[in-house]
Structure 1
Amino acid sequence: MKAAVLKSFGFPLAVEEVPEPVLGTGEVIVDVVATRVLSYSNEVFSGERKYALDLPVIPGAGGVGRVRAIGPDATKLSVGDWVLCDPTVRSRDDAIAPDIHLQGVSARGEGGMRLQKYFHHGSFAERMRVPTENVTRLGELSEAEATQWSVLGTMLVPYGGFLAARLQPGETVLVSGATGNFGSAAVAVALAMGAACVVAPGRNEKMLAELVRRYGARVRPVKLTGNENDDRELMKRTAPGPIDCALDIMPPSVATTVVRAAIMTVRPNGRVVLMGGVNMQGGPGLELPYNWIMRECVTIHGVWMYPRDAAARLIALVRAGLLKLEEYETTAFDLDHANEAVEHAAANGGAFKLTVIRP
């Protein structure tokens, strides 16, 4: 089969013929129809992000495809089913504290690297092998719709954060990083889950206005000034009432002062979700006042990805019409132009943008 292979950091992907994936028990082979290209893929492939990847590897974070073959433990899947492939692979021998790796992207710790050596290759290929539990049926789709459904991979990330925070309908949410790719998805997801209001801070006034245009008065934009104390008070005043939950999904380049200003807007007994990349590439860590956390009874959730059942729940929100995939502007490339797709994703990684490879 054809695939795009990362052989060395700092070099282009090599599009070439590679061996077919071999089915084992507890696994599914999927014909990949569409797979999103992460906006920061170029940073991973160059080695800038220093992700733990055992090379050579076929990269690619999940995708949409059709079932080609199933193992004996699959009782609901059928060959030909349209499915979403979740790249979050967990070890099966410790349900409480499993090791995790993101198939085709990175690994966490020694156990994650061991997982990566087996579920090694990602979705920049005509076919991929995934754990059975990482495949979720989508229902009927057309070939064209598969491209749009690939955005679920982006939406699942903030959805996992809101699930951890137990977001309730009618609550007020603040999304730190609202004008970015994952942040704008967080705004859409929070509203789909029933948030009464989303406070959306940022410096990109054009994108803040676009969020209001798309979602109306339930989005309250805040133009940040760069002064931590002033911005904190501005965000709190912009909210229609106390802020119940703050989700940070800022990239590694953002200063910790910006993140702290947003986090410390939550009310007493409020919740904070940390999902961003602060300190990922070195520099000062995030400092939060011990007394503020304790006296205000603030709960802080560190969340990496999402629970196993999140994909099915998110698909249900889309099918119910609460989450609109057509909000995204998609650009598709074939596998022969995988390197061009990576470049395009880096240059077009903002809000409501989606770059896709269709093998």
Structure 2
Amino acid sequence: MKAAVLNAFDAPLDIQCLPDPVLGTGEVVVDVAAAPVASYSVNVFNGSRNYPLELPLIPGPGGIGRVRATGPDATRLRPGDWVFVDSTIRSRDNIASPEQILLGWTYRTPAALPLHRYFHHGSFAEQMLVPTENATPIGHIAPSDAGRWTALGRLLVPFGGLLAGGLQAGETLVVNGGTGGFGGAGVAVALAMGAGRVVVTGRNHGTLEDLARRHGGRVRIVRFSGDEARDRKSICDAADGPIDMVLDFLPREASAAQVRAAALAVKLGGRVILMGGLRGGAGDLGLNYNWLMHNETTVRGVWMYSRDAIPRMVQMVRAGLIDLGQFELAEFGLDSTNEAVAYAAANAGPRQLTVLRPDGYSGGHAKKLS
């Protein structure tokens, strides 16, 4: 098979011909039709993100494809089925506290290294090997739509946070840091789940205005000023009532003050879900113990999503609650992987979706389909 291989950090990916994956029990081989290219891929590949991974590696966390072959223990999956490949692989020998990796992307702890070494290669290839439970059927789709269906991976991350926080219909949600890919997707998912009002914060005024324009009157926007007290007041004014929940997707470059501006605005018994990327000193939030206790606030970190969220999201798309047409799609052939990585970095945002097509659909050049 043909694949894009990362042989060394800060070096271009190399297009190589490698042996096809070898199928085992409890596994599935998938013919990859479309693989998402994250806007920060360039930072993973040059090593600046410091993601733990062993090289050489075929990168690519998940995607859309068709089942090529299943192990002898598969009961429902059949060759030819269209599937979403979930990149979150969990160890099977410790159900209470499983080790986790992101396929073709990173492993979380040294204990997860055996998983990373076995399920090593990701979706920047014509084929990939995954655990059976990581291939979720999505029903029939036209091959031309496979790239757009990779948006499931972006939508599922905030969906996992919203499910963990127990978002209920009619509630008011703050998406803190809503101008990035996951934050913007979180706005769409929250509205599909019935949120009564969604307050979106961020620094990019143009992107904020675009979110409000596309999603209508239930969305209000707040541009960060950098002053914590002022920003909190702006969030409360935009909510125009009690704030039930905060979904935080602030990036690495943000400050703890930006987190607190939203977190300390929740009502009595409110929930704060942390899914962002603050690092180092900025990750010390400085939340007041006495306030948290008396306000009965739940603060919870969430990483990715539960496996049962995937078929639920597929149902939401099939029902028309989530419109995959909201994304601006650019597709590249496998031979143009390095071009795709550069394009994704230069075109980040909540509506942009950069996709590799190992099935050759795009003919090796960028192709806007929306």
2:306 aligned counterpart, secondary structure:
coil
Residues 19 and 110 (structure 1 numbering): CA distance in 2 closer, same or farther, change over 3 Å? same
Partner residue, 1:175: 175
Q: Which amino acid in structure 2 is aligned with residue 166 of structure 1?
A: G
Q: Give 1:225 shift.
A: 1.2
Structure 1 position 209 matched with structure 2 position 212:
no
Q: Give 1:306 shift.
A: 0.5
Structure 1 position 290 matched with structure 2 position 250:
no
User: 1:37-56 counterparts in 2 under 5 A?
Assistant: 37-56=37-56
Which deviates more, 250-259 or 343-352? 250-259
Q: Which amino acid in structure 1 is aligned with residue 175 of structure 2?
A: V
User: 1:239-318 counterparts in 2 under 5 A?
Assistant: 239-279=239-279, 285-318=284-317
Structure 1 position 81 matched with structure 2 position 81:
yes
User: CA contact under 8 A between 1:100 and 1:111: conserved in structure 2?
Assistant: no
User: 1:71-150 counterparts in 2 under 5 A?
Assistant: 71-150=71-150
**How many equivalent residue pairs?**
358
2:209 aligned counterpart, secondary structure:
helix
Gaps of 5+ in 2: 359-370
Which deviates more, 287-296 or 41-50? 287-296
Q: Give 1:265 shift.
A: 1.4
Residues 284 and 149 (structure 1 numbering): CA distance in 2 closer, same or farther, change over 3 Å? closer
Partner residue, 1:339: 338
Measure, in 2, the Cα distance between the counterparts of 1:320 and 1:245: 26
Q: Give 1:285 shift.
A: 2.3
Partner residue, 2:361: none
4+ residue runs over 6 A deviation: none
Measure, in 2, the Cα distance between the counterparts of 1:73 and 1:262: 48
User: CA contact under 8 A between 1:178 and 1:187: conserved in structure 2?
Assistant: yes
TM-score, length basis structure 2: 0.95
Q: Which amino acid in structure 1 is aligned with residue 126 of structure 2?
A: E
Partner residue, 1:11: 11
Gaps of 5+ in 1: none
1:20 aligned counterpart, secondary structure:
coil
Q: Give 1:233 shift.
A: 1.2
Measure, in 1, the Cα distance between the counterparts of 2:9 and 2:281: 20
Measure, in 2, the Cα distance between the counterparts of 1:177 and 1:102: 23
- CA offsets, 1:201-247, max 9 Å, x none? 12222111111111111101112211011101110111031111101
Measure, in 2, the Cα distance between the counterparts of 1:300 and 1:113: 30
User: CA contact under 8 A between 1:260 and 1:288: conserved in structure 2?
Assistant: yes
Q: Give 1:34 shift.
A: 0.3
Partner residue, 1:237: 237
Measure, in 2, the Cα distance between the counterparts of 1:57 and 1:95: 27
- CA offsets, 1:18-56, max 9 Å, x none? 111110111000000001001100000000000010111
User: CA contact under 8 A between 1:28 and 1:131: conserved in structure 2?
Assistant: yes
- CA offsets, 1:296-348, max 9 Å, x none? 11011110100011111111110110001000001000000100100011111
- CA offsets, 1:139-169, max 9 Å, x none? 0100111010001111111111011111111
Of all paired residues, the percent bearing the same amino acid is 54
Structure 1 position 29 matched with structure 2 position 29:
yes
2:246 aligned counterpart, secondary structure:
strand
Partner residue, 2:221: 221
User: CA contact under 8 A between 1:27 and 1:71: conserved in structure 2?
Assistant: yes
Measure, in 1, the Cα distance between the counterparts of 2:199 and 2:85: 32
Which deviates more, 124-133 or 253-262? 253-262
TM-score, length basis structure 1: 0.98
Q: Which amino acid in structure 2 is aligned with residue 323 of structure 1?
A: I
Measure, in 2, the Cα distance between the counterparts of 1:282 and 1:122: 32
User: CA contact under 8 A between 1:24 and 1:71: conserved in structure 2?
Assistant: yes
2:216 aligned counterpart, secondary structure:
helix
Q: Give 1:132 shift.
A: 0.5
2:270 aligned counterpart, secondary structure:
strand
User: CA contact under 8 A between 2:256 and 2:282: conserved in structure 1?
Assistant: no
- CA offsets, 1:124-151, max 9 Å, x none? 0000001111111010100111010001
User: CA contact under 8 A between 2:44 and 2:51: conserved in structure 1?
Assistant: yes
Q: Give 1:282 shift.
A: 6.1
Q: Which amino acid in structure 2 is aligned with residue 240 of structure 1?
A: D
